[in-house]
């Protein structure tokens, strides 16, 4: 009887396994259009404040006279009942493209083509750290919720025992679906290392600064976006209400939860700020890095919309250093424009997109008084690909962003004022801190 029961259970399991496996294989294993989310648009002149307070909407973009959101379809009837008229726009996100000739959506090998998954990025960073032992070290700043590494490649001339250099942080991929934001900081790292001996500007930057490259703040989210659901944005926190994810760019402690427009208290919202500031290991890793190193400037890469944004983001108020931010951002935009003729809009974050509280750049400026920019990479609009850049775009987007990042590093070097404590004492202090915070140095 027991034996019979066991083999019957086994048969049922086997049956279910085959069904699940075949449906995964047949669908390509790739969820392309749902999670019950749909894309809707509203007229641009709508009162966004009340709309976003009422519903957990994930703003995708503003284009022409329309503003686009991602929303769980369970809310559609309530939105109608509340008197809002919207247009369903799902066909605008045709992924993968039905027309395979459309190169905007074309990826060659694997689901992520030339874009790096978490493990591919790990290999690339290890290869760089191994190839350039005198100029780079690879750190693990912490672990994600699903136990993936938060990598940081520090580029600096380790032969010159000159401590107390200004740090510049280049971060990517707070948001899972923004794949291009991993590639730009990674390619900048690659370029810096390859050109140390070829270009005196690069040599000067590596000799005089510490460039910290953190290309993947949200590794769990990125892999989920690659292997499960392309439009995934948040990390993969399992929330108490059964939903998943905290928006890592709403989880920093400056003005955290300032209002419900710039972030959401609803776990199921794509703008969920989490139960408290730094509730997520991914943002905590960044906090520890900043608290234990001296940073003079930072860029957080996102996509899309071709813009360079500076604080404040939580409220439409000018930062005390707005004039400086405006100048730096305009220079960066001009440098970018010169490469491929693409114009990145420049402006105060809260004025140019929508309000965001608990974001990285407000925190970096709010707590450390440093210039911190969000660079929203191309394209400018949904029609040109939105989050789905073609792999052929990677090189151009990197190339145009390179001079802007180099300029910011050179600015950090030229304006750096060394702390007045003796160098030996400062070195000892910084070494101690590093040991405490950076859990494990895995290369060199």
Joined tokens for residue 112: 């992520």
Segment interacting with ligand 0X9 (CB under 6 A) among 78-86, 224-232, 357-365, 432-440: 357-365
Candidate list 63, 183, 261, 376, residue with the active-site label: 376
Segment interacting with ligand 0X9 (CB under 6 A) among 64-72, 234-242, 327-335, 359-367: 359-367
Contact between 306 and ligand 0X9 per CB under 6 A: no
Q: C-beta of 305: minimal distance to ligand 0X9 in Å? A: 7
Contact between 144 and ligand 0X9 per CB under 6 A: no
The total of other beta-carbon atoms located within 10 Å of residue 372's CB is 26
Q: C-beta of 247: minimal distance to Zn ion in Å? A: 9
Measured from the CB atom, the residue of 92 and 143 that comes closer to ligand 0X9 is: 92
Q: C-beta of 411: minimal distance to Zn ion in Å? A: 24
Please say if 81 is a catalytic residue: no
Binding residues (CB under 5 A) for Zn ion: these are: 175, 178, 302
Q: C-beta of 157: minimal distance to ligand 0X9 in Å? A: 31
The DSSP secondary structure of 207-261, one letter per residue, reads: HH-EEEEE--S-HHHHHHHHHTBTT--S---B-TTS-B---GGG-SSTTTTS-SS
**Rounded to an integer, what distance in angstroms lies between the CA atom of residue 152 and that of residue 340?**
29
Measured from the CB atom, the residue of 69 and 132 that comes closer to ligand 0X9 is: 69
Give the per-residue contact string, 234-263, with ligand 0X9 (x = CB under 6 A; - = no).
Answer: ---------------x--------------
Joined tokens for residue 219: 């590794």
Joined tokens for residue 209: 């600064």
Joined tokens for residue 125: 């960073």
Contact between 349 and ligand 0X9 per CB under 6 A: yes
Which of the 8 DSSP states describes residue 75? G
Q: How many helices (H) and strands (E) does the chain have?
A: 13, 13
Note whether 408 and 332 are within 8 A (CB). yes
- Nearest CA to 65 out of 42, 37, 32 is that of 42
Note whether 120 and 106 are within 8 A (CB). no
The DSSP secondary structure of 154-203, one letter per residue, reads: EE--SSS----PPEEEEEE-SSTT-THHHHHHHHHHHHHHHTTTT-HHHH
Binding ligand 0X9 by CB under 6 A: which of 361, 389, 390, 401? 361
Lookup result for tokens 């973009």:
61
Contact between 353 and ligand 0X9 per CB under 6 A: yes
Residues paired with residue 278 on neighbouring β-strands, in sequence order: none
Give the per-residue contact string, 177-206, with ligand 0X9 (x = CB under 6 A; - = no).
Answer: -x----------------------------
Contact between 359 and ligand 0X9 per CB under 6 A: yes
Give the per-residue contact string, 408-427, with ligand 0X9 (x = CB under 6 A; - = no).
Answer: --------------------
Binding ligand 0X9 by CB under 6 A: which of 281, 313, 366, 385? 313
CA atoms within 13 A of residue 155's CA, in its CB half-sphere: 30
Choose from Zn ion, ligand 0X9, none: what does 313 bind? Cβ within 5-8 Å by kind.
ligand 0X9
Residues serving a catalytic function are 376
Contacts with ligand 0X9 by CB under 6 A lie at: 175, 178, 249, 302, 309, 313, 349, 353, 356, 359, 361-362, 374, 376
């Amino acid at each position: 009887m027991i034996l019979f029961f066991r083999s019957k259970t086994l048969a049922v399991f086997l049956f279910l396994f085959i069904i699940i496996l075949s449906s995964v294989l047949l669908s390509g294993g790739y969820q392309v259009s749902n999670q019950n989310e749909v894309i809707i648009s509203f007229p641009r002149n709508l009162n966004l404040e009340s709309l976003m307070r009422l519903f957990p909407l994930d703003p995708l973009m503003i284009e022409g006279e329309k503003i686009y959101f991602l929303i769980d379809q369970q809310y559609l009837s309530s939105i109608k009942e509340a008197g809002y008229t919207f247009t369903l726009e799902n066909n605008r996100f045709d992924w993968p493209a039905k027309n395979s000739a459309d190169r905007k959506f074309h990826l060659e090998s694997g689901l992520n083509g030339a874009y790096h998954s978490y493990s591919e990025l790990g290999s690339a960073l290890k290869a760089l750290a191994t190839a350039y032992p005198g100029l780079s070290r690879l750190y693990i700043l912490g672990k994600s919720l699903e136990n993936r590494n938060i990598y940081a490649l520090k580029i600096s001339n380790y032969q010159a025992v000159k401590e107390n250099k200004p740090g510049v942080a280049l971060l990517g991929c707070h948001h899972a679906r923004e794949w291009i934001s991993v590639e730009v900081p990674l390619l900048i790292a690659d370029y810096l290392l390859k050109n140390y001996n070829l270009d005196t500007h690069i040599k000067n930057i590596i000799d005089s600064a510490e460039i910290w490259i953190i290309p993947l703040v949200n590794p769990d989210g990125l892999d989920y976006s690659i292997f499960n659901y392309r439009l995934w944005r948040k990390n993969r926190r399992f929330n108490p209400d059964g939903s998943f994810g905290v928006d890592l760019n709403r989880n920093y402690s400056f003005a955290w939860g300032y209002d419900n427009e710039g972030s959401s208290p609803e776990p199921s919202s794509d703008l969920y700020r989490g139960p408290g500031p730094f509730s997520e290991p991914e943002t905590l890793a960044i906090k520890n890095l900043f608290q234990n190193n001296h940073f003079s400037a930072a860029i957080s890469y996102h996509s899309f919309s071709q813009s360079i944004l500076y604080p404040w983001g939580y409220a439409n108020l000018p930062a005390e250093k707005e004039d400086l931010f405006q100048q730096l951002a305009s220079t960066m935009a001009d440098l970018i424009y010169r490469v491929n003729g693409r114009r990145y809009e420049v402006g105060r974050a809260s004025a140019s997109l929508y309000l965001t509280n608990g974001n990285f750049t407000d925190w970096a400026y709010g707590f450390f008084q440093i210039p911190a920019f969000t660079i929203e990479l191309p394209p400018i609009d949904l029609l040109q690909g939105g989050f789905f850049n073609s792999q052929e775009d990677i090189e151009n987007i990197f190339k145009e962003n390179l001079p802007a990042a180099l300029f910011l590093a050179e600015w950090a070097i030229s304006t750096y004022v060394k702390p007045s404590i003796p160098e030996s004492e400062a070195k000892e202090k910084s070494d101690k801190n590093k040991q405490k915070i950076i859990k494990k140095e895995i290369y060199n």
